Chain A
Amino acid sequence: GNSVTQMEGPVTLSEEAFLTINCTYTATGYPSLFWYVQYPGEGLQLLLKATKADDKGSNKGFEATYRKETTSFHLEKGSVQVSDSAVYFCALYYNQFYFGTGTSLTVIP
């Protein structure tokens, strides 16, 4: 079946620290991969996506590369800000969406 596993949180970082949130997937076909972000009290927003192997998605300083050989799509940002505090969801799309359990990130000044 299809599923997504992402690192458990919560994650707390100081401003300007480097961020990595790990995500691996299992899929029966060739899925598209996504990172969604949920700010407090809001719905999910698409952060970035990649539709095929070796594609890199990027947005707002965040990046993730679709690695077919390791079935991974890790999220990275070189220097986090307080405004990045949110819950981050890794997801795959193959006929429907399958979401990971979310990783809560808190960035402290």
Chain B
Amino acid sequence: DTAVSQTPKYLVTQMGNDKSIKCEQNLGHDTMYWYKQDSKKFLKIMFSYNNKELIINETVPNRFSPKSPDKAHLNLHINSLELGDSAVYFCASSPNPAGGRDTQYFGPGTRLTVL
């Protein structure tokens, strides 16, 4: 059983297009995250949602918009894609604050390539 799943695994698209990446977790966790890993493997948090509410929003272009329809899903929509958006995007989840947000489970990643 996959704990944190992402679709698609690979995404190749042209500059200027709009695309979405989906994330689902079946762990019953309250908190979900999006991270961006660049070509040098540097991993940085982008967003965090707790029970469908945005709690962390790092300095990310407003072309990136997360959407959480329910606490098991956190999708990432990207408008007007740019070359610099090429990266691997990881979704993660963690239990409720009492359980510790420092225990995070990562999805397998989505490799986005913008041509």
Q: Which residues of A contact B (CB under 8 A)?
A: 32, 34, 41-46, 49, 87, 89, 93, 96-97, 99, 101-102, 104
Contact B90 A43 (CB under 8 A): yes
Which chain B residues in 65-109 approach chain A with CB under 8 Å?
90, 92, 101-104, 106-109
Q: Which of B40, B43, B56 contacts A89 (CB 8 A)?
A: B43
Q: Could you jot down 28 A-B contacts, CB within 8 Å? A: A34-B102, A41-B108, A42-B108, A43-B4, A43-B90, A43-B92, A43-B107, A43-B108, A43-B109, A44-B90, A44-B92, A45-B106, A46-B103, A87-B41, A89-B43, A93-B102, A96-B45, A96-B101, A97-B45, A97-B102, A99-B42, A99-B43, A99-B44, A101-B41, A101-B42, A102-B41, A102-B42, A102-B43
Which secondary structure characterizes the binding site on chain A? strand
Residues of B within 8 A of A42 (CB): 108-109
Query: How many Å lie between the Cα of A101 and that of B41 in the bound state?
Result: 6
Contact B43 A93 (CB under 8 A): no
Query: How many Å lie between the Cα of A96 and that of B109 in the bound state?
Result: 19
Residues of B within 8 A of A97 (CB): 45, 102, 104
Q: Which residue of B lies closest to A9 (CB)?
A: B41
Which chain B residues in 34-77 approach chain A with CB under 8 Å?
40-45, 48, 56
Given the interface contacts A43-B107, A44-B90, does A96 sit within 8 Å of B43 by beta carbon? Answer: no
